[in-house]
Structure 1
Amino acid sequence: MTGLSSTSGVTTEFDDAIAVVSLARPDRLNALNRDVLAQLLAALREVADRRDIRALVLTGEGSSFSSGLDLDSGLIDSGDPDPVAGSQAALQAGVDIIRTMRDMSQPVIAAVRGHAIGAGFAITAAADIRFIAADARFSAPFLRLGVTVGDLGLSWTLPRIIGQSRAAHLLYSAGTMTAEDAVNSGFAPHVSESPLDESLDFAKNLAGWPPYGVEHSKRLLDSARETTLRAHLDSEARAQVIGTLTEPAKAAMKAALARDSRKGA
Structure 2
Amino acid sequence: MTAPLIRHDVLEGGIAHITLSRPAARNALTLAMVSDLRATLAAVEADPAVRVVVLSGEGKAFCAGLDLKAVIMGDEAPQGAMANMALQELYAGLMLQVHRLRQPVIAAVQGAAVGAGMGLALAADVRVAGDTAQFLVGAVRLGLSAGECGISYHLPRLIGAGRAFDIMLTGRPVLADEAAAIGLASRVVADDALLDAALDTARMIAGNAPFSIKHTKQVMWANLEAPSLQAAIELENHVQVTGLLSADFAEACAAFAAKRPPVFRGE
Query: Who is 1:96 aligned against?
Result: 93
Counterparts of 2:122 and 2:128 in 1: how far apart (Å)? 12
The letter for the 2-side match of 1:183 is A
Report deviation, 1:85: 1.1
Aligned match of 1:9: 5
CA deviation vs aligned residue, 1:45-95 (integer Å, no higher than 9, x gap): 111111111110000000000111110003477997852211121233322
Compare 86-95 and 12-21 and name the one that shifted more. Answer: 86-95
TM-score (norm 1): 0.91
Offset of residue 7 of structure 1: 5.5
Q: TM-score, normalised by structure 2?
A: 0.90
* 1:99-114 equivalences in 2 (<5 Å): 99-114=96-111
Gaps of 5+ in 1: 1-5, 260-265
The letter for the 1-side match of 2:11 is: D
Range with greater deviation from structure 2 (216-225 or 185-194):
185-194
Name the SS for the 2:187 alignment partner.
coil
The residue that corresponds to 1:216 in the other structure is 215
Which deviates further from its counterpart, 184-193 or 119-128?
A: 184-193
Instruction: Tell me the CA shift for residue 234 of structure 1.
Output: 0.4
Superposed CA deviations along residues 140-166 of structure 1, whole A, max 9, x for unmatched, are: 122210000121100110000011000
8 Å CA contact 2:127, 2:185 repeated in 1: yes
The alignment-based identity, stated in percent, is 32
State how far apart, in whole Å, the 1-side matches of 2:78 and 2:62 are: 34
**What pairs up with 1:157-236 in 2 under 5 angstroms?**
157-193=154-190, 194-227=193-226, 228-236=228-236
For residue 66 of structure 2, give the secondary structure of its aligned residue in structure 1.
Answer: coil
The within-5 A match list for 1:95-174 is 95-174=92-171
AA aligned to 2:250 is K
Structure 2, gaps ≥5 residues long: 260-267
2:40 counterpart residue number: 43
Counterpart Cα distance in 1 of 2:165 and 2:104:
27
Preserved CA contact (<8 Å) 2:78 2:84: no
Structure 1 window deviating more from structure 2 (16-25 vs 123-132): it is: 16-25
Secondary structure of residue in 1 paired with 2:71 = coil
Q: Distance in 2 between matches of 1:210 and 1:79?
A: 47
